[in-house]
């Protein structure tokens, strides 16, 4: 449309200019030739001044038209002058000697080179907005006035630039002398020329700024040398050809649009909205929309309609895909919901399983402790220490240690013979600390399950109590005693259970000296008396004693070192380190079940008792004697308590000593008691050894006796023993008769008993009245 408008205005221009020319032509014709010459001289003069001699040839000062053309046809002068005015306007000027006069037509390379220069010049000039000329104007028959006009304009431009480029440069020279020179037509048909121009510019047809002036120029050119009568005919012809051309182009454009759908990638997006709009129109209610649609589609070219249909189908397909995707999403959502539901169910199931597991765990704990109960709530282990270098005189009373019994060889006033004693377990002189502790381990687990445990070391001074409970002076990993190992196990098991139960472990260390309870964990050396409060709600019987939290065995070692330093140690003739006090390391364990939130509390007493030797064995007097009496009394009280528990008496005399008061919670009932009974292998200690073994046996009956059932099974034993007594009496009578006869004192008679089971032994010893019980 724009194109058509331009053509219309162009024709209008032509007609206007034509009218002008017709009226002025006669008046100025003669003067124009003269003016043209003057102008040419001006141009030549300026070029000479600007360029000087070019390629050995000077442009004449007043050249003829011919000379002027020839001088400039190489384009070198033109390009040189242009580059001077506006540097690098023609970047490459071909300077090969060109002498068109000498070179015949058709000399291809030179003609081409000169053409290049001129063309470059013309392009640059055109860009600058200076009137141009045709390349053919430099040839004979061309229009030299256009060349002159161009150079004069260039000169004007140059002057304007030299004056500082003020304002906008506008060529103020004469208009093209379209009507000045009448030359014969060169033989080309006007309309053909015009059409060829149109085709040349078809690619830039949309650029109207370029098209209009060129068209104007072309029409002007075509009509310039025509006579007035011919012009209307020419114009008419131009118009008809223009019309034809535009119709042709319109058709071509329509075809191109029809072909466009094939390039879907580019056109789809913009077309789809149009299609959408078109389909909306189709869908609108009422006939108006439909009519419009029909009318529109009716008017649309066939291919465009096809394209719209195709796009419509594509949109429909896309809609279908969207719908199926939506359905897919719904299915997925349902599936997801189902998964979440089933996961929820699984979690609930797992939770119930977990609580079931907790119950089983709880049950397991109970069963475990029941097993421990069945093993006996009071266990007595006997340990014989090895002979110490330099102490033994070679006589060793130990005869045999077999699993849970030990046999000693008696002699002298104790009677010559072998005596066998049974225990929960017996450890010989070669047993290691580890072996001794192995059977203690199950009790540690019980403490963490909330049971109270009491571990004693009983025996005369020097029999190895401290060695068992703590270890030798120089501790090594192997020689660590029960205390360290028990605590180490506590930490280990509590760590194993940390996911289900959070434990806190704290310790107290006390001693009972002369029936006074003293704190061994004081750091200021203070010696305040401590009260024992049984049945305290938190299970801590001595609330005023230091209670220290421990997290590792090294913490415990540090504390025990402090305790040992604080421990009152008396010196006796038997053992410089002999402890005349009971020392008690109490471990309090509190556990919180992380699932149920319930708390449990267990406590373990690790007691290194004072020496059990009888007073008359030491040469103690004064304070030492007092110490010994207190010790004997408290050990008697311990025996009484245990005996009362054994006989299941209603009254258990816990209050008879500080020791039994302190350990009350851990003796009897649900508590588990373990006693390490220590004996020395030396002959000198035999009396104390037998006394110790008696105590141990008395303690053992508490549980091992399993009284009622044993009573039932004791009937045959009693019978057997009665028979033995009868035999013994007879033998005694015989011996006494013989002794009287031979003069030997009766006290030296030794009696040998056959080896019996534990129960038999106990019964047997009840009859063995030669032993004086210590308590």
Summarize as ranges the residues that interact with ligand ADP (CB under 6 A): 385-386, 388, 459, 461-467, 472, 575, 577-578, 678
Smallest distance, Mg ion to C-beta of residue 510, A: 16
Q: Determine the size of the site formed for Mg ion (CB under 5 A).
A: 3
Please choose which of Mg ion, ligand ADP, none residue 386 contacts, taking the beta carbon within 5 to 8 angstroms, the exact cut-off set by kind. Answer: ligand ADP
Please choose which of ligand ADP, Mg ion, none residue 388 contacts, taking the beta carbon within 5 to 8 angstroms, the exact cut-off set by kind. Answer: ligand ADP
What's the rounded Cα separation, in Å, for the pair 293 and 305?
11
End-to-end CA distance of the chain: 136
Smallest distance, ligand ADP to C-beta of residue 606, A: 13
Position of minimal CB gap to Mg ion? 466
Smallest distance, Mg ion to C-beta of residue 461, A: 7
Does the footprint of Mg ion cover residue 463 (CB under 5 A)?
A: no
77 closest CA partner among 60, 64, 102: 60
Q: Are 387 and 681 in contact (CB under 8 A)?
A: yes
Smallest distance, Mg ion to C-beta of residue 579, A: 5
Smallest distance, ligand ADP to C-beta of residue 690, A: 17
Smallest distance, Mg ion to C-beta of residue 463, A: 9
Smallest distance, Mg ion to C-beta of residue 544, A: 26
Strands 672-679 and 452-459: parallel
Residue with token string 């045709």: 134
Smallest distance, Mg ion to C-beta of residue 568, A: 13
What's the rounded Cα separation, in Å, for the pair 379 and 530?
30
Please choose which of Mg ion, ligand ADP, none residue 385 contacts, taking the beta carbon within 5 to 8 angstroms, the exact cut-off set by kind. Answer: ligand ADP
Smallest distance, ligand ADP to C-beta of residue 511, A: 14
Please choose which of ligand ADP, Mg ion, none residue 258 contacts, taking the beta carbon within 5 to 8 angstroms, the exact cut-off set by kind. Answer: none
DSSP 8-state assignment for residue 89: S
3-state secondary structure of 467: helix
Smallest distance, ligand ADP to C-beta of residue 428, A: 10
Smallest distance, ligand ADP to C-beta of residue 384, A: 8
Q: Which residues pair with 604 in a beta bridge?
A: 453, 587
By beta-carbon proximity to ligand ADP, the closer residue of 374 and 388 is: 388
What's the rounded Cα separation, in Å, for the pair 562 and 512?
16
By beta-carbon proximity to Mg ion, the closer residue of 209 and 576 is: 576
Q: Which residues pair with 381 in a beta bridge?
A: 425, 676
C-alpha distances (whole Å) from 700 to each of 452, 525, 644 are 19, 39, 12
Rounded to the nearest 5°, which phi and psi values hold at 388? -90, 140
Does the footprint of Mg ion cover residue 579 (CB under 5 A)?
A: yes
User: In 3-state terms, the chain is what percent helix, strand and coil (to 5)?
Assistant: 55, 10, 30
Selected range binding Mg ion among 228-236, 460-468, 630-638, 670-678, rule: CB under 5 A: 460-468
Smallest distance, Mg ion to C-beta of residue 513, A: 14
Q: Are 69 and 140 in contact (CB under 8 A)?
A: yes
Please choose which of Mg ion, ligand ADP, none residue 133 contacts, taking the beta carbon within 5 to 8 angstroms, the exact cut-off set by kind. Answer: none
What's the rounded Cα separation, in Å, for the pair 450 and 443?
11
Distance from the Cα of residue 600 to its chain's centroid: 37
By beta-carbon proximity to ligand ADP, the closer residue of 363 and 619 is: 619
Q: Are 674 and 381 in contact (CB under 8 A)?
A: yes
By beta-carbon proximity to ligand ADP, the closer residue of 467 and 503 is: 467
Please choose which of Mg ion, ligand ADP, none residue 464 contacts, taking the beta carbon within 5 to 8 angstroms, the exact cut-off set by kind. Answer: ligand ADP
What's the rounded Cα separation, in Å, for the pair 709 and 58?
153
By beta-carbon proximity to ligand ADP, the closer residue of 445 and 567 is: 567
By beta-carbon proximity to ligand ADP, the closer residue of 430 and 709 is: 430
Please choose which of ligand ADP, Mg ion, none residue 69 contacts, taking the beta carbon within 5 to 8 angstroms, the exact cut-off set by kind. Answer: none
33 closest CA partner among 54, 2, 8, 64: 64
Selected range binding Mg ion among 95-103, 125-133, 235-243, 578-586, rule: CB under 5 A: 578-586
Q: Which of residues 466-485 bind Mg ion (CB under 5 A)?
A: 466
Cα Rg for the chain, rounded, in angstroms? 66
Return the structure tokens found at 71.
Answer: 């001088």
Q: Are 155 and 172 in contact (CB under 8 A)?
A: no
Selected range binding Mg ion among 243-251, 575-583, 657-665, 705-713, rule: CB under 5 A: 575-583
Please choose which of ligand ADP, Mg ion, none residue 467 contacts, taking the beta carbon within 5 to 8 angstroms, the exact cut-off set by kind. Answer: ligand ADP
What's the rounded Cα separation, in Å, for the pair 607 and 458?
9
By beta-carbon proximity to Mg ion, the closer residue of 118 and 685 is: 685
Smallest distance, ligand ADP to C-beta of residue 566, A: 17
By beta-carbon proximity to ligand ADP, the closer residue of 463 and 618 is: 463
By beta-carbon proximity to ligand ADP, the closer residue of 275 and 408 is: 408
By beta-carbon proximity to ligand ADP, the closer residue of 459 and 668 is: 459
Please choose which of Mg ion, ligand ADP, none residue 472 contacts, taking the beta carbon within 5 to 8 angstroms, the exact cut-off set by kind. Answer: ligand ADP
690 closest CA partner among 466, 468, 417: 417
By beta-carbon proximity to ligand ADP, the closer residue of 194 and 467 is: 467
DSSP string, 124-151: HHHHHT-----GGGGSTTS-HHHHHHHH
3-state secondary structure of 427: strand
Does the footprint of Mg ion cover residue 612 (CB under 5 A)?
A: no
Q: Are 69 and 147 in contact (CB under 8 A)?
A: yes
Position of minimal CB gap to ligand ADP? 464
By beta-carbon proximity to ligand ADP, the closer residue of 467 and 683 is: 467
C-beta neighbour count of 578 within 10 angstroms: 20
By beta-carbon proximity to ligand ADP, the closer residue of 121 and 467 is: 467
Burial string for 152-191 (b: 16+ CB within 10 Å, else e) reads: bbbbbbbebeeeeeeeebebeebebbbbbbeeeeeeeebb
What's the rounded Cα separation, in Å, for the pair 197 and 629?
143
Smallest distance, ligand ADP to C-beta of residue 688, A: 11
By beta-carbon proximity to Mg ion, the closer residue of 566 and 579 is: 579
Q: Using N-to-C axis directions, what is the helix angle for 144-162 and 108-128, rounded to 10°?
A: 50
Smallest distance, ligand ADP to C-beta of residue 461, A: 4
Return the structure tokens found at 195.
Answer: 């059409």
Please choose which of Mg ion, ligand ADP, none residue 459 contacts, taking the beta carbon within 5 to 8 angstroms, the exact cut-off set by kind. Answer: ligand ADP
By beta-carbon proximity to ligand ADP, the closer residue of 519 and 608 is: 608
What's the rounded Cα separation, in Å, for the pair 344 and 753?
74
Contacts with Mg ion by CB under 5 A lie at 465-466, 579
């Amino acid at each position: 449309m724009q194109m058509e408008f331009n053509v219309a205005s162009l024709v209008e221009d032509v007609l206007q200019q034509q009218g002008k020319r017709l009226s002025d032509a006669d008046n100025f014709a003669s003067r124009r030739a003269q003016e043209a010459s003057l102008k040419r001289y001006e141009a030549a003069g300026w070029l000479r001044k600007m360029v000087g001699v070019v390629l050995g040839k000077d442009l004449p000062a007043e050249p003829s038209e011919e000379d002027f053309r020839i001088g400039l046809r190489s384009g070198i002068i033109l390009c040189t002058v242009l580059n001077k005015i506006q540097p690098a306007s023609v970047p490459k000027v071909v300077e090969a000697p060109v002498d068109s006069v000498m070179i015949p037509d058709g000399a291809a390379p030179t003609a081409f080179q000169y053409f290049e220069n001129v063309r470059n010049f013309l392009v640059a000039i055109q860009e600058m907005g200076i009137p141009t000329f045709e390349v053919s104007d430099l040839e004979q028959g061309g229009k030299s006035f256009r060349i002159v006009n161009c150079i004069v304009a260039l000169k004007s431009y140059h002057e304007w630039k030299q004056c500082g480029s003020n304002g906008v440069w506008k060529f103020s020279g004469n208009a093209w002398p379209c009507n000045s020179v009448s030359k014969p037509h060169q033989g080309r048909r006007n309309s053909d020329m015009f059409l060829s121009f149109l085709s040349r510019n078809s690619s830039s047809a949309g650029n109207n700024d370029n098209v209009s002036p060129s068209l104007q120029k072309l029409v002007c050119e075509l009509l310039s040398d025509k006579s007035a009568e011919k012009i209307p005919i020419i114009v008419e012809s131009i118009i008809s050809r223009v019309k034809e051309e535009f119709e042709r182009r319109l058709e071509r454009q329509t075809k191109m649009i029809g072909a466009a759908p094939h390039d879907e990638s580019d056109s789809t997006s913009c077309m789809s909205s149009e299609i959408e709009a078109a389909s909306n129109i189709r869908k609108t209610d009422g006939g108006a929309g439909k009519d419009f649609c029909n009318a529109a589609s009716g008017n649309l070219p066939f291919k465009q309609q096809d394209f719209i249909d195709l796009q419509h189908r594509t949109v429909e397909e896309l809609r279908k895909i969207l719908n199926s995707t939506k359905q897919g999403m719904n299915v997925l959502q349902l599936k997801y919901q189902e998964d979440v539901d089933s996961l929820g169910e699984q979690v609930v199931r797992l939770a119930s399983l977990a609580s079931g597991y907790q119950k089983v765990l709880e049950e397991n704990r109970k069963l475990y402790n029941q097993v421990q109960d069945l093993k006996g709530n009071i266990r007595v282990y006997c340990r014989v220490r090895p002979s110490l270098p330099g102490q033994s005189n070679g006589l060793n009373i130990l005869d045999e240690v077999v699993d849970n019994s030990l046999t000693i060889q008696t002699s002298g006033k104790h009677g010559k013979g072998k005596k066998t004693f049974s225990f929960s377990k017996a450890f010989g002189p070669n047993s290691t600390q580890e072996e001794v502790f192995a059977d203690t381990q199950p009790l540690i687990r019980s403490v963490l399950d909330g049971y109270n445990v009491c571990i004693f070391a009983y025996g005369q001074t020097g029999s190895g109590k401290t060695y068992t409970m703590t270890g030798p002076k120089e501790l090594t990993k192997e020689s660590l005693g029960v205390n360290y190992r028990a605590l180490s196990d506590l930490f280990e098991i509590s760590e194993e259970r940390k996911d289900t139960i959070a434990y806190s472990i704290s310790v107290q260390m006390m001693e009972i000296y002369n029936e006074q309870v003293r704190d061994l964990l004081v750091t200021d050396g203070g010696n305040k008396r401590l009260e024992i409060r049984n049945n305290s709600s938190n299970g801590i019987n001595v609330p005023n004693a230091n209670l220290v939290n421990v997290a590792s065995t090294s913490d415990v070692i540090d504390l025990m070192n402090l305790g040992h330093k604080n421990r009152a140690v008396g010196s006796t003739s038997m053992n410089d380190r002999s402890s005349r006090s009971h020392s008690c390391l109490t471990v309090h364990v509190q556990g919180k079940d992380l699932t149920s939130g319930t708390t449990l509390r267990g406590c373990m007493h690790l007691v290194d008792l004072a020496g059990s030797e009888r007073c008359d064995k030491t040469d103690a007097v004064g304070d030492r004697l007092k110490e010994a009496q207190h010790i004997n009394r408290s050990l008697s009280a311990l025996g009484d308590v245990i005996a009362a528990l054994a006989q299941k008496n209603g009254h258990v005399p816990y209050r008879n000593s500080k020791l039994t008061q302190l350990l009350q919670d851990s003796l009897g009932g649900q508590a588990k008691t373990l006693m390490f009974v220590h004996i020395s292998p030396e002959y000198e200690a035999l009396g104390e050894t037998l006394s110790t073994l008696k105590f141990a046996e008395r303690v053992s009956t508490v549980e091992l006796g399993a009284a009622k059932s044993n009573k039932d099974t004791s009937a045959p034993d009693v019978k057997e023993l009665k028979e033995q007594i009868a035999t013994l009496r007879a033998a005694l009578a015989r011996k006494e008769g013989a002794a009287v006869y031979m003069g030997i004192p009766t006290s030296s008679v030794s009696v040998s008993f056959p080896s019996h089971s534990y129960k038999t032994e106990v019964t047997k010893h009840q009859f063995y009245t030669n032993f004086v019980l210590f308590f």
